[in-house]
Amino acid sequence: MKNSRTLLKRRRNSSAKLEQVIERLDYLAKQAAEANSIERLMGLEGAGAAQYFSAFGECLSHPEFVFTQRSRRPPGNPVNAMLSFGYQILWNHLLALIEIQGLDPYQASLHQGSERHAALASDLVEEFRAPLVDALVLWLLNRHILDSQKDFAYHDRGCYLNELGRKKFLKALVQRMEEEIQTDSGGKQPKWDLLNQQVKAYKKFVYNPSQGYQPYQSR
C-alpha cells in the first residue's frame, strides 16, 4: 500500500480523486501495521487495492486507453492485459529465485498455498507490483509506445497483448530492470537485484524469525 501510494503521489497531474485515495491508502497502511490476524491484514490489503485501482486511471494521459477497474480472469481491456502480463512475469521470476534459495514456494506467510499455487511468490510479488510493473505500464502508455489497435488481441472473452505488444513490453521491462539504482550503502545495483535481495532477506527471516522481514519500499 505504501508503494502504491508513492506511485500515485508521483503523478504530475494531481486531482481531488488522487489526493483522496492517497489519504485513504495512508490510513489503511497504518491500520495494516496494527492488524492482529492474517484475515484482518488480507482484508485491509484488499481494501487498499480497491482504493488504488479506483484512482489508477487518473494517471493515464493517453486518450485511447481507459481504466476504471481491475479485471484479471480474463483481463477486460488493454490496461488490464498489460498489468496481468507484467505481474505474471514478475511472479515467475520470483518463483525461480525462491527455488534457487532452497525455500519451499508453497509455504507462505499470507497467501494460502496449494499444489497449484506457489503462495510465497504471491506474497513477495506484492511489494513490487506498483514500483516495477504499474509504473512501467503508465510509462509505456503515456508515452504512446503501445498502440491500442496494433498491440492487442481480443479472444476468449478477454483482451491480451499480441506478439508485437509482448515484444514491446518485454523490451521496455528488461531495459528498466537493468537500470542501476542507489543502494542504502551508497553503491549501485540493477533493479533485477532487488528481487533476489528480498528473497534472500525472506530466507534469513525464515531461519531467524526474531529479526523480522523488511519489505522493499520505493522512494
Q: How far is 82 from 76, CA to CA, in rounded Å? A: 11
* Residue 63 to residues 57, 60, 141, 142, Cα–Cα distance (Å): 11, 8, 10, 9
Overall average pLDDT of the 148-164 stretch: 94
Q: How confident is the model at residue 50 (pLDDT cuts 50, 70, 90)?
A: very high
Lowest mean pLDDT among 58-67, 130-139, 179-188: 179-188
Per-residue confidence (pLDDT) for residue 191, from 0 to 100: 87
Judge whether residue 141 has pLDDT over 70. yes
- All domains of the chain in start order, with CATH: 60-211 (1.20.120.920)
Reported pTM: 0.91
Q: How confident is the model at residue 32 (pLDDT cuts 50, 70, 90)?
A: very high
Per-residue confidence (pLDDT) for residue 182, from 0 to 100: 76
Per-residue confidence (pLDDT) for residue 87, from 0 to 100: 97
164-191 pLDDT tens trace? 999 999 999 999 999 887 766 667 888 8
Overall average pLDDT of the 64-81 stretch: 93
Overall average pLDDT of the 30-56 stretch: 92
* Residue 8 to residues 11, 56, 109, 110, Cα–Cα distance (Å): 6, 8, 27, 25
Overall average pLDDT of the 32-61 stretch: 92
Mean pLDDT score of the chain: 91
Judge whether residue 12 has pLDDT over 70. no
Overall average pLDDT of the 106-131 stretch: 88
Overall average pLDDT of the 23-37 stretch: 93
Overall average pLDDT of the 149-169 stretch: 95
How many residues are present in the chain?
219
